[in-house]
Chain A
């Protein structure tokens, strides 16, 4: 099946633009990136439909003269869902502006914390004190049931 070069190039341009915007930090740009990307994929599906013919409406043209309806159905669904996503991203951008005064995507705080956890802390955390921790765990586990004897033994172990 032959492809329209114009459409193929358009797919490339739209996807490229979409990806570039998607990689930005401003949510407004991310949003526009998503819209462009969506358009690009829609054009791609459209190109899969083959040579431009008539609308797939029975009675308006001969059957062989009509476009494939399936890509159109997919695109229609995609258009509506892109709209839903646009609205949601907008709400995110607005909320981010409300809370932080801008709409930039921040790095995930938890991930940063994990990534920057000090090496020293890590060293302290290994080896020798594992027994102690085990003892603490054991004590906590039976703390509902006081048994000084057990505790003493465990502490000695440590």
Chain B
């Protein structure tokens, strides 16, 4: 059974590609998939009819008791025939209905196939929760199908209405499913039906389930979404709104009726709502001029009848309902498809404009006539047999049944009337209307409705063939009378009389209506009462208004206010916890060693000065002091790894922040908070700080259990490392680290996208760029603007000489004639590769020499840290940042071209490689070991060197290292090179080409 669903899912996946490849021809090909489901169902028919229902159960979410439980029994077999059969015909029909240049056809085909799959899944599910999943799947897919013409407001609105109403019902149904499932102790529908639970809660649950079913089947008061949904393309209406989706509600009622039909809440809501819908829909249908709307209201009406029949709760009526379900699927989809053809070929669906089609399109008229006859209940057709069985069954019931019969009879009469109205409206030659022009008929277009309409006749004559199948489901309701049977002809009797009466009444209605035709339609007073749409709109509006009021009350839009709210809640919660935790067990010692106190003083001073600083740079440097102070505390506390990492991170942060600060105003500007507000901030801050101090004291005293980390030491030994902190990071808690590097990557992506806006690395600044001629970091605009004509590096060299005569700014800035200035230079004569791209006043020979001397050493150090991290302080993070610092000094000494030359690969590549290695190690653990990130070791003997110990965690650490290097590079490129470039462009009087198209630099 799962195979059928998987086939649909796969077909849906390839559908867009297929449509793109072979256009409309894809539809008949895709139709083969549901057709296959029909064949599969047919192959199982004899088994199921014989009473051998097949099941297929797979575990899904065992903790929730959720299973992929499917069951093919008579009802699901019937529905599979309907859903898959009509589905395949409609798909084939789509190939003729749409124009080849229709927008979004690939998506449409995919969604339609997926819908067929979801529908089949729905009817096959034997688990209430699984049923719900498919239920909502059909809701979402129908939203997409109804809104196919997304450029039309009406279509969007109709799709939205259908979505809201059916989702509302669906949610109610979910609650109901959980209530019923919990009460029954199982979510398996077959078991619930076999042993239905009882009680008030179950009644509520069943009522909620009914809300879902009735909203899906568009019963009063949810009926209004269905006519609105006629904005969908006609094949969609034929499938969703005649055969499949709206039948889901009827299906659910039929499924649960054997278990719950005797509950009062079930019986009365089904009877009242169903019969109201039957009459209301039929009356509305008689007033429509649009053929499609006429059918839509007709469908609403028939769905009411179907719900009453399958939910009424006696065996024979249920049997009649199932028969009508099948008949309705055949005739209603045939009629919808006919309307589609008329609309397609004549350009209108208005029956006041259509005339003479019966002569020009005789074949179509016959097809529609067959279907309409079935709908009207003319003998020999399927509709007749089903309805007559219903009459017969109701006639033998109690008083309520007989009253029901009267209403049903009226409803059937009205159905016959609008069936005539449909056929007459579409095909009759009207005296005062000119003949409507119509394109030539195409056999392939009319094939699908012809098959469906013909099916109605065949089924009508041979109804007894499916009687055995349908009876098997109906027999779930025990009956002590002689059971009725579905058949084409039941012989002469009271039921036949009722059928004839209904037809006669229908004829009267037609005549009366024709008499009334000329007059204006009287305004209907009670209409407001039943027009649930008004209530719906009011409800939606009320919800919107409520949300606006709620937003107004809570969302002031000010970040400080939000933060204060969060802090206040946090403070209140923590204070409560502290108070309830009394008495506290606080043990205090002054310090671990006096140095701690000294550093503490430094940190306190740094914090206070940071608060008071009015210059950005000062504030940043002071906060850096705080950071270094904290790092020293780490070192004092016996945490060398932390101290190392904190020192390194603090350094990189300082550099990066300063790189950005050169662009921002030097002082904090703008709306400096008012004194009063500032005082409030200080108050909140001090309160938060005091609270945290208390928490620290109390929490430490509250520790009772042995720390989990006591086992870490022996675990590290097993993992082959001595540095427990590092081994924990890359092995014991490697998942956390995986998340952490993911955060790093996301942050770096955020940074680059905010800076570059389009692509992470536009062409990296390289020496080969033509733009490399203009000096980097020039202070004097006149100098930098002087050399657009200069060629090659000679230009900058020339400027370098010029710059030599300029006043020297700064102490360490040594003016230097470019070493290779004449253009014959060899790179070997330079200290740095790109030193000549710098503006001369920015060069520092001292820095260049130092950088040249230590760059490679620092890189080697970073690799050492990475490798040693397993046993000594270090590791991937520290190593990565050291490597990043190496690139940072290259950039600081030589500018962006230097950075580009030092790291000529994209930062994205480095990050990606790191991620691949880290994730790959994890997956390898899953494949070779028992779990993702499972550790492993490889100890090859290498001659001369001895045994090399390679742990998978080392490999993981290499991944971390690469990610960190890439992130630092990315940040440098963004805040360094990119901001440089933008400054230079501004200097040249151009607006920075921030959003330049990729590649246009070349």
Q: Interface of A with B (CB < 8 Å)?
A: 1-26, 28-29, 31-32, 35-36, 39-40, 42-44, 46-60, 63, 66-70, 72-73, 75-77, 79-88, 90-95, 97-98, 102-105, 107-112, 114-115, 117, 125, 130-131, 133-134, 137-138, 140-150, 152-153, 156-157
Contacts and interface: CB of A to CB of B under 8 A. Distances in A.
A69 B717 CA distance: 14
A150 B290 CA distance: 10
Contacts of B964: 80
A10 B161 CA distance: 58
B596 A67 contact: no
A50 B684 CA distance: 29
A56 to B, nearest CB: 4
B590 A72 contact: no
B556 A46 contact: no
A130 B700 contact: no
B751 A54 contact: no
A156 B695 CA distance: 68
A157 B751 CA distance: 57
Contacts of A69: 709, 712-713, 724-725, 728
B656 A90 contact: yes
Contacts of A22: 563
B652 interface: yes
Nearest to A2: B587
A52 to B, nearest CB: 4
Given A23-B560, A40-B692, A141-B228, A73 B733 contact: yes
A84 B590 CA distance: 34
Contacts of A152: 521
A153 to B, nearest CB: 7
B590 A5 contact: yes
A73 B660 contact: no
Interface stretch (B196-204, B495-503, B533-541, B820-828): B533-541
Given A35-B627, A97-B663, A145-B290, A58 B713 contact: yes
B722 interface: yes
Contacts of B700: 1-3, 47-48, 50
Given A8-B693, A32-B619, A36-B610, A90 B751 contact: yes
Interface in B662-697: 663-665, 668-671, 673, 681-682, 684-686, 688-690, 692-693, 695-697
A87 B967 CA distance: 10
B603 A13 contact: yes
B345 interface: no
27 contacts: A2-B701, A4-B590, A11-B696, A12-B692, A16-B689, A16-B690, A20-B684, A21-B611, A35-B627, A36-B610, A46-B634, A54-B638, A56-B712, A63-B713, A72-B641, A73-B725, A76-B725, A91-B974, A94-B979, A108-B557, A115-B556, A125-B545, A142-B293, A145-B230, A145-B292, A147-B289, A157-B527
B349 A52 contact: no
B689 A12 contact: yes
A142 B660 CA distance: 57
B1002 interface: no
Contacts of A77: 729, 736-737, 740
B950 interface: no
Contact of B871 (A23, A28, A57, A111): A57
Interface in B25-52: none
A14 B599 CA distance: 13
Contact of A94 (B527, B588, B623, B660): B660
A76 to B, nearest CB: 6
B955 interface: no
A93 B645 contact: no
Contact of A15 (B541, B586, B692): B692
Task: Count chain A CB atoms within 10 A of each CB in B593, B707, B737 and give the residue with the most.
Answer: B707
Contacts of A85: 747
Interface stretch (B9-17, B147-155, B312-320, B467-475): B147-155
Contacts of A51: 589, 592
A16 B686 contact: yes
Nearest to B693: A12
A43 B600 CA distance: 11
A137 B537 contact: yes
Interface of B: 149, 152-155, 157-158, 161, 224, 227-228, 230-231, 287-290, 292-293, 349-350, 521, 523-524, 527-528, 531, 533-534, 537-538, 541, 545, 548, 551-552, 555-560, 563-564, 567, 586-593, 596-597, 600, 603-604, 607-608, 610-611, 616, 619-620, 623, 626-627, 630, 633-634, 636-642, 645-646, 649, 652-653, 656-657, 660-661, 663-665, 668-671, 673, 681-682, 684-686, 688-690, 692-693, 695-697, 699-701, 703, 707-709, 712-713, 716-717, 722-725, 728-729, 733, 736-737, 740, 743-744, 746-748, 750-751, 754-755, 871-873, 877, 964, 967, 971, 974-975, 979, 994
A142 B154 contact: yes
Contact of B692 (A28, A44, A82, A149): A44
Residue of A39, A60, A104 most packed against chain B (CB within 10 A): A39
Nearest to B227: A142
A79 to B, nearest CB: 5
Contacts, number: 404
A25 B527 contact: no
B557 A73 contact: no
A22 B559 CA distance: 10
Contacts of B600: 6-7, 9-10
Given A23-B681, A94-B755, A130-B537, A3 B589 contact: yes
In the A-B complex, list the 7 residue pairs whose CB atoms are closest, starting with the nearest: A16-B689, A111-B557, A84-B747, A12-B693, A2-B587, A20-B685, A70-B709
A68 B717 contact: no
B685 A16 contact: yes
A147 B286 CA distance: 13
B352 to A, nearest CB: 9
A30 to B, nearest CB: 8
B638 A28 contact: no
Contact of B873 (A1, A12, A21, A55): A55
Contact of A32 (B149, B293, B620): B620
A149 to B, nearest CB: 6
Looking at A48, A66, A95, A114, which has the most chain B CB atoms within 10 Å of its CB? A114
Nearest to B296: A145
A23 B724 CA distance: 38
A145 B664 contact: no
B572 to A, nearest CB: 15
Contacts of B620: 28, 32
A37 B289 CA distance: 70
A130 B533 CA distance: 12
Contacts of B231: 141-142, 144-145
B713 A56 contact: yes
A125 B402 CA distance: 49
Contacts of B663: 94, 97
A115 B550 CA distance: 10
A133 B598 CA distance: 72
A153 B743 CA distance: 60
A24 B560 contact: yes
Given A77-B740, A107-B556, A36 B649 contact: no
B638 A115 contact: no
Given A91-B755, A97-B664, A102-B670, A144 B639 contact: no
Contacts of B640: 55
Contacts of B603: 10, 13-14
The CB with the most chain A CB atoms within 10 A, among B665, B671, B692, B743, is that of: B692
Contacts of A115: 551-552, 555-557
